[in-house]
Structure 1
Amino acid sequence: MRIMRAEQFGLKREVEYGTPEQNESALRIVEDVKAEGDAALLRYTERHDGMRLTAAELRVTQEEIAAAYDRVDAAFLTAIREAAVNIRRFHEKQLRNSWMDLQPDGTMLGQIMRPLKRVGVYVPGGKAAYPSSVLMNVIPAQVAGVPEIVMVTPPATGGKAGIDPYILVAAAEAGVQEMYRVGGAQAIAALAYGTESIAPVDKICGPGNIYVALAKRAVFGAVDIDSIAGPSEIVVLADEHADASYIAADLLSQAEHDEMASAVLVTPSEPLAEAVAAEVERQLATLPRQDIARQSIDAYGAVLLVNDLLAGIDVVNQLAPEHLEVLTADPMSLLGHIENAGAIFLGPYSSEPVGDYFAGPNHIIPTNGTARFSSPVNVDDFLKKSSLIYYSKQALMESGDKIMTLARHEGLEGHARAIEIRLEKEGR
């Protein structure tokens, strides 16, 4: 693992938007599904997933879901149920209510909160299956009150056996009633525009490969999307008190996600830097996904040396990482200085997987430095807000001249006259 001064490291990572060929391919799939519906959906499923399906076979049956329960182990079922409770409890604290504010002059202003009607959740099935992501997408939508939640996932996340049973069980435990065996850009297009078999949604959530990301970007505007997710990231800010084996394990926990994942240690301690670099090599040798993790560490991993922890925080804020672990003697004392991070893990016992799976906060977190301006998936992502405005006659009489002044300043006489006609009719 590379050890270098922080100023030698490229703090700005290039955002991946795909090659021109990938963009063209994703857009073509989207347009074909939009135009042809199920016919294109089934054609691309056969071409890219190697499965020939009929329209009647797209929807997962209740019998398949019931059979999936027989294929998962009891320990998983216990863990996923407890995780769901924790996730629901955390997100319920985010829920906000509609409000109204009545003034003495009869003005009433407010905001009405309503859930989206129908949300689509994409569950990937490439290098690994992620039942935990099902909970992280579905439960906040449920807490928001979304009445219709539909899940799509590639038809062979479990290999030749079809959809991974753990994904089906996680979805069932989260309360999803509508599931389809379709993935890739074609699934995103189906959710956005609808086909004969799949009704369109208002918002699409969930990570996927580059074609899924490009398709989400292409349909944005016709529907809302959560984000364009990039490769996973972790930054560990640590001092000489930290355990090198803990840090190495946590760096590798992200490196094993994807060859493009980023794992970075920021520290003022040179002995710790050297110990972590050695420990990464030792642990990497026995990691089942070592080929993926090795490429990630070699290409995007680094140990960055800084003068002190405050300088380290400056580096962290520039990187704006998806996951930030603070492994210092007094992590709470540094919290107020951290401005840009999707999720912050404090202390040696708050390893990143605690948040990924179990604690309750959402693990769908902004990547590619977008933690500078965006947030983890939350209940607000599934709510829409309507402003409420009621002006009494008295309030309009008192404010009408000011409204007309602003309208005429912008050259919008029609706006001004809409107020003026009322003022004149009421005797002003």
Structure 2
Amino acid sequence: MSLGRHTAKGTTKPRPSTLMAEEKLREEIARGSQDPQVFCDLAEFILTAGRVEEAISLYQRALRVPLTGLQKAQVSTALGWLFYEIGRVAEALLLANDAAEALWKEAGTPEVIAWRGASEGLRAHCIFFTDEKAGADAAQLALNCLKGVMVDAPDFVNIAGVYYDAARLSNLLWHAKDTVEFCEKCLQCELREGERLQCLVVLAEALRQEEQFSEAEKVLEEAFKLVKADVAALPRLYMEMGMVKRLTNLPAEVRRFFQEALHALESHPYSSHDSHYLTQIYGNLGELYYETGRYEDAVAAFQKVLSYHPVDNVEHRSALLWLGQTYHGMRAYDDARRCYEQILNSPLALEAERASAQDGLGKVYYDQGEYENAAATFEGIIKIFPEDSSFHCNALLWMGYSYHAIGRDSQARECFEKVVASGHSSEAEISSAREGLSWLRPTPKKTLQ
């Protein structure tokens, strides 16, 4: 289905260049060919050369020749995925809907059901951009179609594509174990190099999510060997390797791979302005710079992320949180406050985002010596979040510090003791609370009168 470039036949096959030269495909079209496969083969051939707009035009021409419902769905899905890959999500969604409609009256053969899964899968990815719940629901419907083909038609001619589509959908749903299983089944099929490369990239991401870092690294090393089959995969490969290296605590290699990802993205034929990849690259670099004390570099990276997203976007707010934390590390307290206040003033900020901003603001108040404001801020967090929340325990700890700083030791003691007694506090929080208790004057012993 969506393994490799989509074709009207939807079968795994050699590259168009091995079937007929580009010139011959063009000759067939010039002679008035009405075969959608000819247009799709030429589009696929052209895409390998990075000529995206020309490929789009060919897919659009394929949609104008007489088509069966199944053929229309196949070409629409092919073009839809291409639009999705280059960030034209609204157009991709329209084509996914067209594909689903075209299949509505088709008989429920394994091929039709598989393409329903493929088109619904494209639709799910598109919807997920703006509505995660609706996108997840659509993804589950698509998965049900694909799983039906796996069970009822295990010898289906493009079962590899079915497994790959299922892997991508499982990955979208953060079902890493299922993603690994589907990828492994796909990789057991006969695949072209480019198709194997695509599957390996998805597998590596799932293995990383499963914290199987050495396995993920091996998969990526194999993928790098195949990258000539699809150089457009380079940015994601470098980025994925950078994320694996980061989780295995190799900062020098992390920087190198993310910088390589950035360079590859800038050289990419149609994704040099892809805000999704740029956000991930600069976001990870910013976090790495922050963790290693390179605050000015971190600020520059997070400001890049801000520039890619409007103020009502979740990525914008995430970057603001990191930027506030970075400014705090630089002791640029006013700048840190402004970042946190932007989140707190946003009507779209999620509860967890508000809590993180309040937490950051409270710590800024504390470091500036505004202990009353700090205590009030942490108290606000405690009122919102239950005792089993990580926000609650951390806020209790800092509220204890704040109370101690203004001489309210009995209230400080109460906070520290709650942190120590809580089964939800981290070891670091318990240790810090015990240290806080050691600062306080002993509680006077009661004596009998």
Greater share of helix: 2
| Higher-RCO chain (CA-CA 8 Å, sequence separation at least 6) | 1
Please confirm whether the aligned pair reaches a TM-score higher than 0.5, indicating the same fold.
no
Larger-Rg structure: 2
Q: Which range, TM-score by smaller chain?
A: under 0.3
Scaled by the length of structure 2, the TM-score of the pair is: 0.20
